[in-house]
Structure 1
């Protein structure tokens, strides 16, 4: 019997080639899409999951409560890790972590004749004992003890020394200013780590090079702790809450609190609300989990509608089988078997599609995904996907066809009750409601991304180039600036400690006349050179930039508008402020500009002048259309003044774009998924149109005999489907608004969701639906009424 069922199923598949192809392609697209999303979701949830001590690793975050507001983040005090380990017994290990170069730039190393740029961090002595970066050579407990110790990756060891074995114990030159000793070689950081680096320097070196670390008002590094296995997390968190007041005076009405977050969660939950981690990339994980389910549901609904659309052709078969004694259970088994056969064909195609699309998908998402064919769990997941899809897609058609009354079918053909009709229409409404939600999401995400890319940041990021300060440039910046300013295509040159897109360092050590002693406001702080405002093309609201004509500018300050509002000066120019004990006048007020992601509000900013600051980036403003020539000239000058150091540069607009890489990926993926959902939904609509036309054949014939024209009949049939689309809009529009409004809350600066977005989506969906059903409507309307009336 099973063999007979398989033969019947295969013959039906071949007999209805067009419907079978549409059915299989719809399911294959849905499953291929779901499979790719599942791989992406597994990778996202697996980031930082490889650490053996992951259950006991935590990252410390700090929350500041003042003026009825709360600001939270991962920047902490430079001495915090050491003190936590000393004071709290449950802390087994603790480590700080800080960039060795401004974010987005690299450090230069030399060993023998080899020179190259590498990315790394300063890390505490315990770091390699806490995190699972396996050592090929060296001792994790002692690798980062001395101020000149350095641990390097396999890749870095191979690049400079040929093999990891040859690297251990060797000397390597750092930034052409000091020699470091390689004390450990660690395995290359895996792709599923949130932080990637080539080397680790010791925390002692960081503290020695940054005297501000000793001030507990200053924050910048990240802090990590590993708790003992018998420690109670809640008790440790309670001890840490007011830990900072061991080193600072507690002020009534204002407070600073420390918290701990499981380290494996920090990748997905990195946005803070009300002083606690609540959101971040997890929103995208949830989003695409729903998208995966929705697209698979849409594909299954499409299968149901197309299968029931063919039910008229199978009705007599069902009637005859029932007359000769076939039970309903056997018919359900037969039709479920056919559904599983179609699903299996679609599944094979889906896997092949996923394999073919995976390289492009990896390029788009920046991942290194692959099908884990060696893992049994992967095959179980595939079998589960096949079975779930087959059962969901085939259950309704099997139940529907097996329920047909054989007497009515054999006497007068297929007659469908109102309940079944409404169910199919409801499925189409559901499909298009989901498609509408996805399409509106696509429009909103695209508009938000366009807003980010075109937003006036308060400075001109076009034609702005960064060059890292390293090697001989540290002591020859003045000469480099003088020579660079004369080169063709260059408008101005300046410098700053960080880069304009990322100013992470904050200080609470800012005072002013009349300051409330309870005020604990943290200021972002910057160190710049002459011509900073000119080079950045910042706008001055009042006052002036730093100038060589005023010798006292070395103890003067620039503030942004937010800082002036916080301080409360009505006429700030000439007013005195104190930063780290240095009292000086405010000489200029900058209009607020964005120096971090627009996920965050603009912080108060204080800037001081220091032409002799030894590290950071050189900012170069080029003439429009002359950037290429300017860079070529800069490379010659750089090579002449700084031999042995590779010339590297970055474009400000590209660095800004990197801040929104995740959002860009989400935007592109949402476009593809929305279009795919609409396409599959239209396949289902096509099936329902076919089914409806078959059901109303006699009615159409009667109407034509009575004088109805082809346009009248086409409009009648199409109008019924447009009503379903309108219902889908009524359901989809509010859901889409709520969903995207919630998504936009993650941005401090965002677009408004406007009425035209819904209007555009509605018109596009309606036109697509009309085009989909018009073929079947016209075909039914053009049918000879004589043939139509003879059918029954």
Structure 2
């Protein structure tokens, strides 16, 4: 019997090729979207699960309150690591201090390469359960050792055993390879990690870190701390125990910040990484997981709606078939089985096609999503989900047609008195309205995401990014060569200006408190972003001096002068800032100028109050302004030639400021592109359904159209007659979608302090676009039917 069901289903597919193509292609696209989103969600939910102790590892963080706002930060003081090991040691299995992951120079012989690495305590490889290819996880016990990733080891030593081979870090630290670990996968927070060096080596090599250790600087929050809790406890219990670990140790001045230590579990790093100004967890990437899951369900639902609509619309065509089957003894359950088998056949074909579409589109989808996903061909769970998913889709798509068609009365059908009824089209209209409500909502959402990105991109950044190049000073060989590098590069004609700074142009690496000035509110906790620059920095970035003047190399007093930004003036409530003396770190600094805010952090947030010091001894970055009269490639070739001659021990690594700045929009642009992609597919699926319905209606009303043409109706009249119902449904969809989209996007924009407005024309544009697409979709069938020769449609009468 089942074989017969599928044989009849196959014949029906061949008999109605156009409708079969619409159904299969619509379902295939819908299922492909669902699978792609499913892979994306799987990748997000499996983030960091590579580490075997995934559910026991945490980052140690702190809340600090200043000026009524609580900040939640990753950075912690040096003494906290030892405090957790000694006072709270029974709560932890491992504790590991860490530097920040960053770029370093690794070299051996004549080979020197820039690699991303970190300094960590000896227990770090155990915490993150590195899979060792050579050596063991205990390799960091030697203070002059290094663990390399598999790819980094191959880059230096090829296929040879790298153990005991010698390397130099940043041309100053000699180490030997004591282990090689498997490259970390893309969906981990440490995916860029190429080497780990001992924390003790880092401490002994940097005087400022030794001071933080020896003086027990609880106020110097410059480090990271990772921990694995003991097997007999949990995060909540340990979190309560260590909550006051810092507060109980700091002096009276530091206690005002009400420091609270807490654990951020590894399982929540990816999806729950945002806190509000009261220190409460407010979500993060999990919001997009839910968003795309909902979109995937709705896009698949749109495809199912097409199937249901076209099946019920053609019910009268199959009414006689149902009547004859019932008259010769078919049970309703058998008819339901027949229609479900047709639905399942369509879904199985669509599923096969959807897998092909996924495989073809995955490279492009990965590029947009910033991932390295692949179809899980060998994963039985994946196939179990896909098959179950297809089966449920078949049941969902075929449920209404099966129950509806099998309910026809044979007497009415065979006597020719069967009529679908005046309300028979209501379900189809409801489903079409639902389709376009979803589609229009997605279109509006995409437009608002795009507007938010453009609004932020157009925000004044306070400096000129054009032609700016920056290089991190990763080796001691960079220092003390400012004048010779600047003169040599300017003499090539490739460089207009050079300056050095303690932070990259596109970031702020330091902030400090303890500033005092005359008239300061005693209750104000004065913390400023602090950047040290050489005098040419302002000219190089072309910042806008609003009051006072810029730094000058000719003025010896400028070593005790500072330039403050607009946000700093506002924060300090300075009415006449130029000439104001700022007291900090035992010295008096005079404000000589006010500059327009420079956006160096997130462009979506307000600029931090900041001060710029003139100091060439506290810099880490070289910044160059390329000559606009020469091509960038030609200029870089000249710059590299000078660089290799004057700094031969370092690789020539550089970054364009505008490219790095553009990366600050990557997350939002990714969401916008994905939303646009899904919205386009939703419209495509909806239009497929409209095309099929329009085709069916034109076929159903062939004789009516012929009579109207004989009586004098024009093509335009007939086009309007066949199009008005669909236009009305889309107008209704827009009316429903507008408030839904407004509510959803208003909530989304709330998380941005610097955000665009939701203007009326966005909704109008989406509505007009949906109507235009509808008319274009329907018009082909409408005009084709209207232009048909009435003799052909009426000759049988």
Scaled by the length of structure 1, the TM-score of the pair is 0.94
Structure 1 CA distance, aligned partners of 2:661 and 2:793?
65
Q: RMSD between aligned alpha carbons?
A: 2.5
Aligned to 2:744: 739
Deviating more after overlay: 737-746 vs 32-41: 737-746
What number of residue pairs does the alignment pair up?
785
Classify the secondary structure of the residue corresponding to 2:95.
strand
Residue by residue over 1:409-458, the C-alpha shift from the partner in whole angstroms, topping out at 9 and shown as x without a partner, is 22337522344311110100000000001111121122222333343212
- Pairing of 1:411-426 with structure 2 (within 5 A): 411-412=415-416, 415-426=419-430
The residue that corresponds to 2:56 in the other structure is 56
Is 2:141 aligned against 1:130? no
Structure 1 segment 96-135 matched on structure 2, within 5 A: 96-99=97-100, 101=102, 106-135=103-132
Q: Which residue of 1 aligns with 2:169?
A: 174
Question: CA–CA distance in 1 between the matches of 2:564 and 2:253?
Answer: 27
Corresponding residue for residue 466 of structure 2: 462
Is 1:264 aligned to 2:267, yes or no?
Answer: yes
1:253, distance to aligned residue in structure 2 (A): 7.4
Establish whether residue 342 from structure 1 lines up as the match of residue 338 from structure 2: no
Q: CA deviation at 1:653?
A: 0.9
Give the match's secondary structure for 1:320.
Answer: helix
What displacement does 1:254 show?
Answer: 5.4
More moved, 30-39 vs 416-425: 416-425
Map 1:625-664 → 2, pairs under 5 A: 626=630, 627-664=632-669
Decide which of 346, 355, 359 is 2:359's aligned counterpart: 355
- Relative distance call for 1:524 and 1:206 in structure 2 (3 A) is farther
Deviation at 1:176, TM superposition (A): 1.8
Asked if 2 retains the 8 angstrom alpha-carbon contact of 1:251 and 1:518, the reply is no
Higher mean alpha-carbon deviation, 705-714 vs 501-510, is at 705-714
Q: Is the 8 A contact 2:101 2:117 kept in 1?
A: yes
8 Å CA contact 1:74, 1:222 repeated in 2 = yes
Report the counterpart of residue 574 of structure 2 in structure 1: 569
Larger mean Cα displacement after TM superposition, 496-505 or 459-468: 496-505
User: Is the Cα–Cα contact under 8 Å of residues 309 and 693 in structure 2 kept in the other structure?
Assistant: yes
| Matching residue of 1:712 | 717
The answer to whether structure 1 residue 201 and structure 2 residue 204 are counterparts is: no
Rounded Cα–Cα distance in structure 2 between residues aligned with 1:344 and 1:714: 37
Is 2:235–2:265's contact at 8 Å kept on the other side of the alignment? no
Equivalence for 2:534:
529
3-state SS of 1:31 partner: helix
Which of the numbers 224, 227, 231 marks the counterpart of 1:225? 227
The Cα of 1:3 is off from its aligned counterpart by 2.5
Does the C-alpha gap of structure 1 residues 507 and 325 become closer, same or farther in structure 2, counting only changes over 3 Å?
Answer: same
Gaps of 5+ in 2: none
Q: Which residue of 2 aligns with 1:94?
A: 95
Quick one: distance in 1 between partners of 2:323 and 2:751?
A: 58
Which SS does the other structure have where 1:133 is aligned? coil
**1:220–1:506 CA contact under 8 A, matched in 2:** no
Q: State the match for 1:69 in structure 2.
A: 69
2:590 pairs with 1:585: yes
Give the counterpart of 1:396 among 397, 400, 409: 400
Contact residue 218 and residue 507 of structure 1 kept, 8 A: no
Tell me how far apart the structure 1 counterparts of residues 98 and 283 of structure 2 sit (CA, whole Å): 23
Q: 1:391: Cα distance to partner? A: 1.1
CA distance in 1, matches of 2:488, 2:42: 53
Greater CA drift, 213-222 or 310-319: 213-222
**Secondary structure class of the residue paired with 1:54:** coil
Please say if residues 540 and 590 of structure 1, whose CA atoms lie closer than 8 Å, have aligned partners that are also in contact.
yes
For 1:544 and 1:342, the matched residues in 2 are separated by 74
Q: Is the 8 A contact 1:82 1:95 kept in 2?
A: no
Paired with 1:422 and 1:81, the residues of 2 have a C-alpha distance of 68
Alpha-carbon deviation of 1:721? 1.1
1:17-46 Cα offsets, whole Å, 9 max, x none, are 111111111111111121112111111111
Instruction: Name the residue aligned to 1:512.
Output: 517
Give the match for residue 767 of structure 1: 772
Shift, 1:723, TM fit: 0.9
Partner residue of 1:242 out of 244, 247, 254:
244
Match of 2:301 among 274, 297, 301: 297
**How big is the shift at 1:180?**
2.0
Going from structure 1 to structure 2, the CA distance change for 1:254 and 1:113 (only over 3 Å counts) comes to closer
Change (3 A) 1:144 1:723: farther
Q: 5+ residue gaps in structure 1?
A: none
Deviations 1:217-271 (A, max 9, x none): 3334332222112224223323333333222426787533333221121122222
Deviation for aligned residue 1:144: 5.0
Mean CA deviation greater in 433-442 or 84-93: 84-93
